[in-house]
Amino acid sequence: MIISTGTASGKSLAYLTPAVASCLDGGTVLYLTPTKALAADQLRSLRELRITQLRAACFDGDTPFEERTWIRQHANYVLTNPDMLHRSILPRHAQWSSFFRRLRMVVVDECHGYRGVFGSHVAQILRRLRRICARYNSQPVFLLASATASEPGAFAMRLTGLEMAEVTSDGSPKGATTIALWEPPLTELRGERGAPVRRTATAEAADLLTDLVLANVRTLAFVRSRRGAETVALAARAKLADVAFSLGGTPGAPTGGSGTQSGTSAPTAGAFGTPPLPTVQDLPTAAPDQGAAAPTDRNALSRPADHDAPSAPTHRGTPSQSPDQGAASQSPDREAPTLDHDGPSQPPGRSITPPFLDHGGDVPSASADREAPSPPPDQGALSWALPDSADWADLPDRIAAYRAGYLAEDRRLLEKALRSGSIMGLATTNALELGVDVSGLDAVLIAGWPGTRASLWQQAGRAGRDGQEALAVLIARDDPLDTYLVHHPQALFGQPVEAIVLDPDNPYVLGPHLCAAAAEIPLTDADLPVFGPTAPNVLADLVTQGLLRKRPAGWFWTRRERATDLADIRGGGGAPIQVVESATGRLLGSVDEPSAHTTVHTGAVYLHQGETYLVELLDLEAGVALVGSSQPDYTTFARDITDISVLASLRSHDLGPGSLHFGEVEVTRQVVSYLKRRLQSGEMLGDEPLDLPPRTLRTRAVWWTLPASEVAALAEEGFDLGGAAHAAEHAAIGLLPLFATCDRWDIGGVSTELHADTGLLTVFVYDGHEGGAGFAERGYARATDWLTATREAIASCECERGCPSCIQSPKCGNGNEPLDKRGAIHLLDTLLRSTPTSV
C-alpha cells in the first residue's frame, strides 16, 4: 500500500500503528528512509512511546560498530537507509537471519525522493530485499509513504515490483499558508554578452531570513546547495551582528556584513503577532572598511564576463556537476539522499566561511547547544532583546546552518534547538525537506525552484505543522524555469504534482544489482521475474563480460571483489574517483567517474564541505584525484566538445510541420580545456588546455526536427538558425524539470543546423545517465506543453538579446555563443503551429 497525502497529514501514525503492533506480536519491522535525519527523528518518536517490548534502533553509517551486533540480534524495529541495505544488510543476510524470518512489514518512508537513476537503484535494492525475505520464508507487507504525487500506485508498483493499493484522500486539518513568489531585482552588473544580472537568490534569502528572525518569526530557509546554505547562514548572522552593534550590543567594530542591500523589502511588521525589531533596511550599515562583500551564490559565480569563444559545429548544454558541488552530492543543487558515513564537520551551528567572502572582522560563532535567551511570556521580540545589552551579542547565535557533512550529534543538536526555539532561523539544504518533526515553524524561505511541485509543497509544508497560519516564499533564481514560474503562477497553483520518473529496467542499473543478488544467493530462473523482463538479456551480457558464471543450478558470482561495489547508487556508473588530499593522504570523498572529467580535472577548483581545494593531478587509471588546500580567487569551468549520433528511433510523431522523436543515442564528449573566471566579477582569466580522453554515453533522448522548407523561410527573415536552435535548446533544458522529476543538471542537449543522421535542423535533449533515466521519455510524452512553456519563457523575459533568465545556460560548453533570442521564438512558433496545447 502507498499513502500519498500532504505534509503533516498523519502518514507517520498510519504506518506506526500497524508497525508497532507487529513488533508486539513478535514480528520485526524494517524502516527505510532517504536521510539519516528522518531516521533519527523517527527513532526519537518511537522511544517517546516508552513501550518496553519495542526495541528500536538506527542502523546506518553513524552507528558504532559495538552496537551493530546487538541490533542484528535483538532489535525488532530497525531504521536504516537504502545505502546500508545495499552495502551491509543484504550482503550479510545470514547474520540477519533471525530478523528476516520474523519480518512482517517494510516501511518505505518519503518514497517520492526515489526518482531518476537513484530511484531506479532503490527499486532493484527492494527487489533484492524481497528475494532475501523469500529465502527466509517471510512475506512482509510493503507500506510506502509519500508526499502528494501523481499516479502514486503506478509509481509504487514500479518501485517495488508489487501490486499496490493507494490512499490519496487527505482530511487532515490545516492552517492557511500564504505563498509569496519573489523575484529579486535587476542589478547594474552585466553578464555574458551584456546580459542584465539579477540579485542572487541566496542574497535575497539572507536578507529575508534576517528580517524574519528580527521579527521573532521562526524560519527555515531551504537552499539548493551546501555552500549556498552556509552562505545564507553566514550572511544573515553577519547582518544580525551589525544589528546588535548598532543597537548597543558588544563594544567594538561590528562583526561583518554589508548592511542594506538594494531591492529588498522587509516583511510586514507584526505579521505574526509580535512587535518586530528594526529591519535590516532601517539600520545603519557598517563602514566600508568593516563590512563584508555581499554574499553571492553559484548563479553569480558562474556568470562570466563577455568574451569571444570558438564556435563548434554543434552547440551543447552538457550535463555536469556544478563547480560548487561536494563529493557526496547527488547533483550540484541537491543534497545527497544519505551517506554511509559522515566526514569531519564544523561544530553545531557554526558556519563555514566561503573563500570568496571577505569579512571585516570575526564572525561570531553560534553554538546550538547553548541556550539563547527566549522571549518572556506575552512579550514580543523587542522586549526580549532590550533588557540586557549582553543579549544583543547573542543575536547572531539565533541563526545556524544545517546540512549533510556535520557529525550526527551536531545535526541532532541543531534539530533540537530549532524545535525548542533557541535557534530562530536555520538555513538548510533539502536534508530537512522530508518528514523530520520541526513543528512550530512560522515561515519557510525557498531559495530557488526545488525541482518539482511535490518538493515545493513539501518544503512549504514545513511551516504551520501545528495547524497555525504560515508563510512560504519562493525566491526565484536567475534561471529560465524560476523566472517562468514567478510570472506564471498558474503553472504552480491548481496543477497536479508531477509523476515520479524512474526506470528500474535500465540495464546499466540492473546489471550491477543482478551481480549483487548472485553474490548474496545464486540466481535461478525462478528469480528472474522479480527483476523484470530485461533480466535474461542482461544476465547473458554479464556472463559474456565474465562477471557471472552460468551453471546448471543458476548464475554465480565468482570474483573476490564485493559485488555491491559495482553499483554506485548515487553516481552515474563506473568506479568512483577517490578525492585524496595530497599533503595528508586523507580521503575527502569520491566523485562518480562520468563527472570526474568536468569536476576534478587537473587544475580544477574543487569544493568539499565548504573548503576549497585545487586539483593537482587526475589519474584516471588509478582512480585518484590529488588535491591540495588552496584559496584561489577564481573558479573553473570545463569546456568540452560534444557530438551525438542516433542509434534508434523508438517512437515518433508529427509536431506541427516538423517531427518529434524519442530513442537511443550515443553522446561523445571530450573535455578539451577549462576556463578560469574571477569569483567576484566573472572576468575570464584564461582558457587552459586539457588532454583527457573522450567519453561515450549511450543514453536516451528526445529530439525534434524541422524540414528544410520551414528552415529556409526562417533564414530568409534573417535569423541565425544555429543561434536560434541553440537558444531553444538551452531554454528547453531549463523548462523540462517542470514536466519531469529532474534537475537541469540531470540532462543535456545538443543543437545543430544540419545533423548528419537526420539531415535536418535538429535539437536534442538527452538523459545525462548511462542507459537513460526516464526524463527524456517524459519530455516526449509532454512535448507540446513543454515546448509551449519554453516559448513563453523566452518571449516573456524582459531582456533584449537573451540572459540567464531565458536562453543562457550556466553549463554551456560553447560559452553561450551563438544565441538568437528572436530566432528561438520564431523557431518554436513554427514547430508549434497548428499543434493543440494544454498549458
How much is the pTM?
0.68
pLDDT of residue 115 exceeding 80, the answer is yes
Q: If you compute the radius of gyration of the chain from its CA atoms, what whole number of angstroms results?
A: 26
Q: Which residues contact 734 (CB under 8 A, 6 or more apart)?
A: 479, 480, 481, 744, 790, 793, 809
pLDDT category of residue 436 using cuts at 50, 70 and 90: low
CB atoms within 10 A of CB 484: 25
Grid cell 561536494 — which residue?
326
438 or 836, which is more confident? 438
pLDDT of residue 306 exceeding 70, the answer is no
Asked if residues 699 and 769 have their Cβ atoms less than 8 Å apart, the reply is yes
Please compute the mean of the pLDDT values over residues 622-633 and round it to a whole number. Answer: 90
pLDDT category of residue 573 using cuts at 50, 70 and 90: low
pLDDT of residue 67 exceeding 80, the answer is yes
pLDDT category of residue 323 using cuts at 50, 70 and 90: very low
At 763, give phi and psi (nearest 5°). -125, 125
Q: Which residues contact 447 (CB under 8 A, 6 or more apart)?
A: 201, 202, 204, 205, 221, 222, 223, 224, 228, 232, 297, 475, 477
Q: Is the dihedral of CA 605, 607, 611, 613 positive or negative?
A: negative
The whole-number pLDDT of residue 812 equals 76
CB atoms within 10 A of CB 439: 15
Please compute the mean of the pLDDT values over residues 564-574 and round it to a whole number. Answer: 74
DSSP for 357-403?
---SSPPPPP-TTS-PPPPPTT--HHHHHSS-HHHHHTGGGGEEEE-
The three-class DSSP label of residue 477 is coil
- DSSP conformation class of 406: B
Please compute the mean of the pLDDT values over residues 743-763 and round it to a whole number. Answer: 90
Please compute the mean of the pLDDT values over residues 52-59 and round it to a whole number. Answer: 95
pLDDT category of residue 355 using cuts at 50, 70 and 90: very low
The whole-number pLDDT of residue 591 equals 79
The whole-number pLDDT of residue 98 equals 96
The whole-number pLDDT of residue 376 equals 34
**pLDDT (tens digit per residue) in 214-265:** 998 989 999 987 667 888 888 898 888 888 888 765 433 433 333 333 333 3
pLDDT of residue 210 exceeding 70, the answer is yes
Least confident of 73-82, 173-182, 776-785: 173-182
